[in-house]
Amino acid sequence: EVQLVESGGDLVKPGESLRLSCAGSGFSFIHAWMSWVRQAPGKGLEWVGRIQSTGSGEATDYAAPVKGRFTISRDDSKTTLYLQMDSLRIEDTAIYYCAKQGGNPATTGFFDYWGPGTLVTVSS
């Protein structure tokens, strides 16, 4: 059974940093392309960024609102995905989900499995 479990969400002040983790199991993590998606309270879904598999060079790309502030990385030995969030802003307040890309990830961009999410609150 595929499982994704996020952790690390917390209440932080504007300008501070936070690192989220996502532990994956039940699938070949080393070959998976993984993304972070967020959902502000009562709002819709917003893609945050993606990391390709190690075999594809671990290339990353990010949504414009977080580019330069957020960094996605992975540790295949621990089957864990990370999201380093720096210079946090109030508008970054959201539930953060990790999601596994489905199909042939090199040619598709839908998400076949999601974690339950972890809440990040940025407030002074």
Partner 1 sequence: EIVLTQSPGTLSLSPGERATLSCRASQSVSSSYLAWYQQRPGKPLRLLIYGASSRATGIPDRFSGSGSGTDFSLTISRLEPEDFAVYYCQQYGSSPRTFGQGTKVEIK
Chain contacts with partner 1 (rule: CB under 8 A):
4, 35, 43-47, 61, 63-64, 97, 99, 102-103, 108-117
Q: For residue 46, what is the enclosing H or E element?
A: strand 45-51
Q: How many CA atoms lie within 13 A of 73 on its CB side?
A: 9
User: Nearer to partner 1 by C-beta: 14 or 103?
Assistant: 103
Closer of 84 and 108 to partner 1 (Cβ)? 108
Beta-bridge mates of residue 39 = 45, 95
Q: Provide the minimum distance between the beta carbon of 29 and partner 1 in the complex, in angstroms, as a whole number.
A: 17
> Do the beta carbons of residue 31 and residue 24 sit within 8 Å?
no
**For partner 1, which is the closer residue by CB, 12 or 62?**
62
Instruction: Rank residues 35 and 79 by Cβ distance to partner 1 and give the closer one.
Output: 35
* Minimum CB distance to partner 1, residue 47 (Å): 5
CB of 105 to partner 1, least distance (A): 10
CB 121 to partner 1: min, Å: 19
Specify the amino acid at residue 46: E
Task: Report how far apart, in Å, the C-alpha atoms of 124 and of each of 11, 34, 68, 89, 121 are.
Answer: 9, 31, 22, 10, 10
